[in-house]
Amino acid sequence: MNREAMKDYEKALEIADRIGDRMTSSIALTNIADILFEQHEFSRAEMLYSRALDICREIGTGKAREKTSAIWVSFLGKLGRKDQAREALRRSIALLEEIDAPARAVAPRINLAESFLSPWPQRSPSKR
């Protein structure tokens, strides 16, 4: 099942890149990274999550950045990189406050508080 999904996401990424649809490229990269993470290909997943987040930062859409940041934080936390995950949460909170979206900053604040509990919260990021 993941093989078929991977092929479709890769094709979507190829098309989105070709036509310059950066938002769809970011979504496809995140979906591919999710599959790689499930397959324990952490290095490749990290690279794609990072690329997706960079695209979201470049195009400046708050909601996309918020979702990709949440997935990135979950990824870092599951790998035991709590300090990096907390820093990513702090950046997400700052971004949401900067774009005047305090209601959307509630979830990252709760996740930041929970990150100090042991073990790391194991919730999966919500799917698209």
How many residues belong to the chain? Answer: 128
Average pLDDT over residues 102-106: 77
Dmax (CA) of the chain = 45
CATH number at residue 93: 1.25.40.10
Mean pLDDT for the chain overall: 80
Look at the chain and report how many structural domains it folds into: 1
Would 16 be classed as within a structural domain?
yes
Angle (CA) 88-92-95 rounded to 5° is: 135
* Predicted TM-score (pTM) of this structure: 0.66
Would 124 be classed as within a structural domain?
no
CB atoms within 10 A of CB 87: 14
Angle (deg, nearest 10), helices 62-78 and 106-114: 10
Query: Is residue 28 very low, low, confident or very high in pLDDT (cuts 50, 70, 90)?
Result: very high
Query: Can you give the pLDDT at residue 122?
Result: 52
Query: Is residue 7 very low, low, confident or very high in pLDDT (cuts 50, 70, 90)?
Result: very high
Average pLDDT over residues 27-32: 90
DSSP string of the chain, one letter each residue: -HHHHHHHHHHHHHHHHHHT-HHHHHHHHHHHHHHHHHTT-HHHHHHHHHHHHHHHHHHT-HHHHHHHHHHHHHHHHHTT-HHHHHHHHHHHHHHHHHTT-GGGGHHHHHHHHHTTSSS---PPPPP-
What is the residue range of 87's domain?
2-114
Nearest-CA neighbor of 13 among 67, 23, 4, 3? Answer: 23
Query: Is residue 125 very low, low, confident or very high in pLDDT (cuts 50, 70, 90)?
Result: very low
